[in-house]
Amino acid sequence: MRSNTAHSGVVRTRFAPSPTGRLHLGHVLAAQVAHDLARREGGGFLLRHEDIDGTRVREEYYAGIEEDLRWLGLAWDGPALRQSTRIAAYEGALERLRAMGLVYPCYCTRREIQDEVGAMVAAPQGPEGPLYPGTCRGLPGEEQQRKLAGAATHAWRLDARKASELTGPLSFTDLRRGTLAVDPCLLGDVVLARRDIGTAYHLAVVVDDAYQEISHVTRGEDLLPSTHVHRLLQVLLGLPEPVYLHHRLVLDAQGRRLAKRHDALAIAALRQAGMSATEVLALLEVGDLRD
């Protein structure tokens, strides 16, 4: 299968927060890495609000995030993209994969998956815990029809093995780690369309990175496993291959990654406490992006 080569030419990066809270230091590192890489190369730096999960999004956070970025001096180019306006594009991509026979409906509830995994002697494991055991993969046509009629909603999952048989071996380039071989089944048969919102992170990211012509995808190294799936999806959907930079994470004093419980480290809180933008950025010691 044809694979577009990694970008050469105009550098374009993006920062892609979810408007489910204010920015904290972890986000700022991600934003600064993307910003600095683009500006260093005279390229573009874009902002994308990852707001497909409407139940967690709050309207005031879009403006709050933008205010924090402006205050930090991390200005972006052009209007911010909202993923909630791009649902038709994600549906189109899913439809393509469906036509290729590479996705299947999954009727399992979270609970059913947990129970099934718990009952298995050797449940398949991924980097973040047990993987979906493939319950709904390869259901006979009539059983699928019966379930489709009976269930109010269902998710769509990627048949990762079948997809990788189609693409053959793949790799991606990370600026810190060099060339890495794709393990297409690393995260198992990931959900490409959630039952509640009709799309999902992996699909939306891949479609939008291509739409926004992102040459360099920079993000925390916690998302490195996802890149294996994203590379597979890019090839299946005929999308260009970006270069990756998975940067280190900002950890608290206990070595845990920052999360909602660290509201004291929200940029707005640091600012209110009297810190300047320069002082906040200095906390991160970004330095060489490849560190």
Reported as type and span, the H/E element at residue 106 is strand 103-106
Closest CB to ligand GLU among residues 105, 242: 242
Query: How remote is the C-alpha of 86 from its chain's centroid?
Result: 15
Minimum distance between the CB of residue 166 and Zn ion, rounded to whole angstroms? 22
Residues 174-233 that bind ligand GLU (CB under 6 A): 205, 219, 223
DSSP letters, 116-174, are HHHH-SS--EETTEEPP--TTTT--HHHHHHHHHH-S--EEEE-HHHHHHHH-S-EEEE
Q: What does the binding site for Zn ion look like in residue numbers (CB under 5 A)?
A: 106, 108, 135-136
Closest CB to ligand GLU among residues 104, 201: 201
Among 11, 12, 13, 17, binds ligand GLU (CB under 6 A): 17
Minimum distance between the CB of residue 192 and ligand GLU, rounded to whole angstroms? 15
With b meaning 16 or more CB within 10 Å and e meaning fewer, what string describes 146-160? eeeeeeeebbbbbbb
Instruction: Please give the Cα distance from 176 to 50 (Å, whole number).
Output: 25
Among 11, 16, 31, 160, binds ligand GLU (CB under 6 A): 16
106 binds, among ligand GLU, Zn ion, none (CB under 5 to 8 A by kind): Zn ion
170 binds, among ligand GLU, Zn ion, none (CB under 5 to 8 A by kind): none
Closest CB to ligand GLU among residues 159, 209: 209
Closest CB to Zn ion among residues 19, 188: 188
User: What distances in angstroms separate CA 58 from CA 22, 66, 94, 269, 272, one per listed residue?
Assistant: 10, 14, 27, 18, 21
> Six-digit token pair at 224?
């490195």
Candidates 15-23, 71-79, 127-135, 281-289: pick the segment binding ligand GLU (CB under 6 A): 15-23
Closest CB to ligand GLU among residues 49, 157: 49
Q: What is the DSSP letter of 19?
A: S
Q: Binding residues for ligand GLU, per CB under 6 A?
A: 16-18, 50, 205, 219, 223
